[in-house]
Amino acid sequence: MTSGSVARFLGYPHMTSRKGVIVDGQGDYASLRARFGARYRILKTDGPRGHTVPPAQIVLAAKKQIAILRAMSCETIVLLTDFECRRCSYEAFLQALATQASSFDCGVTLLTASPNRMIENWYLADISYLSRKKAFLRDRVTQRNFEGCDGKRQLRKFIIKGNSYNEVTHGPQLFVALRFSVARKNSPSFDSFLRHLEM
């Protein structure tokens, strides 16, 4: 088995990959750093956020981070931003974001990805397992399709009394424990993101 095959078997990217990820929120940043920090360069954009920001502005706002990652020898960069509750369809947003990225001349391969609707939807894609592993979650939550729902609101329903969901504190714990092989089957948006990372 090659080193790349071993890496994929263990759930890590190819050892020789030079990839970077740009996220737009502190919770997303904390989660991806916790799981991928030793393998990928993870940066947080300091540009505008929110469901009213158009795709063109999202891409342009990441210009500084793209330059930093390029200087770090990253050949492929994934721009990750939440879909949230935009008025357009998820598919239309993805297409618009990809179109803007493809027309942005930055000297690297710039890919785009977006949870449907937020990173909490990715945690929910394996919530049955996570609910048995994390003390702050209700035990034995039934797995179902959570793609496209308000992930943060739904996840809060599974937090036991006496705890309050904090995306920076709880998010990394959930993302580190997430079984990618299961979650990607339950979340097409997560599967798409992992494919960008060649996982």
Q: How far is CA 108 from CA 71, 117, 150, 180, 184, in A?
A: 11, 27, 33, 27, 26
Domain that holds residue 59: 3-119+183-196
pLDDT band at residue 111, thresholds of 50, 70 and 90? very high
Residue 139 lies in a domain: no
Q: Which of 26, 148, 86 is nearest to 97 (CA)?
A: 86
For 120-135, the pLDDT digits (tens) are 999 999 999 999 999 9
Q: What is the CATH number of the domain that holds 114?
A: 3.40.50
Q: Are 14 and 2 in contact (CB under 8 A)?
A: no
Residue 86 lies in a domain: yes
Question: CA-to-CA distance for 109 and 26, rounded, in angstroms?
Answer: 24
Residue 160 lies in a domain: no
**Total structural domains within the chain:** 1
Average confidence (pLDDT) over 88-113: 97
Instruction: Give the pLDDT of residue 10.
Output: 39
Instruction: Give the pLDDT of residue 47.
Output: 82
Instruction: Give the pLDDT of residue 158.
Output: 98
Would the pLDDT of 3 be above 50?
no
